Amino acid sequence: MKNYTVVTEFILLGIPHTEGLEIQLFIVFLSFYFSTLLGNLTILLAIISSPRLHTPMYFFLCKLSILDIFFPSVSSPKMLSYLSGKSHGISYGGCVCQLFFYHFLGCTECLLCTVMAYDRFIAICFPLRYTVIMSHKVCTILAMGSSFFGCIQATFLTALTFQLPYCGPNQVEYYFCDIPVMLKLACADTSALEMVGFISVGLMPLSCFLLILTSYSRIVCSILKIRTAEGRYRAFSTCSAHLTAILLLYIPVVLIYLQPTPNPWLNATVQILNNLVTPMLNPLIFSLRNKEVKSSLKKVLQQVGFLLEK
């Protein structure tokens, strides 16, 4: 039986090939992070403060905004910390938490997008039965269910990764703890686990994507049956924001986890876009083409301005 020296701390080496750019990256990423927090908090405030927006679609949009607040907060604070000159070290427990919450929030968002597609399917294909089918109880179950299954998936992936012994090198060639880079540091054969992880990471997003594709196939068929051009435009406008958000969510997953030969620099670039840029863009995607949200936002900003004047 082999004796292993247990690793208690990992060193995050950061984004590959960015030596000497720490100050510039710190400024850029900090601005992205604060814009993400501000944008999503504004959307939350606009929806909560407007009774007209207390509908299933905006209920799910609220949850998406909450996820987009916490998702970049998993890796960004530590990344900003070491870019500002502080320690690159992260404890073993901190690394476990980073990996778990990254996949928990990511999987939950993936499942939530599927729920949002189902919501649009019911709204457009069965408008007269929409309020009955998408009741408060059903919306709550769907929202909680997305978090529950996201937690199960994240627990499985985290347990799969950290059941391995980590006894030697502790330098993580990345800016946060994720499955591919952690498996490289394990003191054991990881080929079987890599295959299981690959199937697990790929299966859930693929299943969600097929369900979303099915929902939108039915939606497109229903929209084409609408006789008025205004009605078709309104239906397409409602769905286009959701489709844009789905593409921004799924493209990084495919590029990072399903590529045959991982490229560290490409992975880091795509991951940063996924962690910081996409959550920052979601409030713009869902508000710029939505008159109700824009109207609510104007009222909120007017109230804030009025309070500041006092």
Block means of pLDDT (10 residues each) for the chain, 310 residues, are 68 82 90 91 86 87 92 91 88 92 92 91 89 93 95 91 85 84 83 73 81 87 76 70 77 67 70 83 74 74 62
Q: How, if at all, do strands 9-12 and 89-91 pair? A: antiparallel
* Residue 100 CA to its chain's centroid (Å): 13
What is the structure's pLDDT at 71? 92
For 144, half-sphere exposure in the C-beta direction (CA atoms, 13 angstrom radius) is 6
Q: Spelled out in words, what is the top-level CATH class assigned to the domain 9-303?
A: mainly alpha
Beta bridge partners of 171: 11
Alpha helices in 50-190 (DSSP H): 56-70, 76-83, 92-125, 130-133, 136-162, 179-184
Residue type, 66: I
pLDDT in tens, 188-214: 877 777 777 777 777 788 888 889 889
Mapped onto helix, strand or coil, the DSSP state of residue 211 is helix
What is the structure's pLDDT at 309? 59
The two structure tokens encoding residue 85: 């000159």
What is the structure's pLDDT at 217? 86
What DSSP state is assigned to residue 90?
E
What DSSP state is assigned to residue 166?
-
Angstrom distance (rounded) from CA 58 to CA 62: 6
What is the structure's pLDDT at 1? 43
Q: Quote the pTM value.
A: 0.86
Angstrom distance (rounded) from CA 173 to CA 117: 37
Which residue's structure tokens are 């800016």?
A: 175
Angstrom distance (rounded) from CA 170 to CA 268: 19
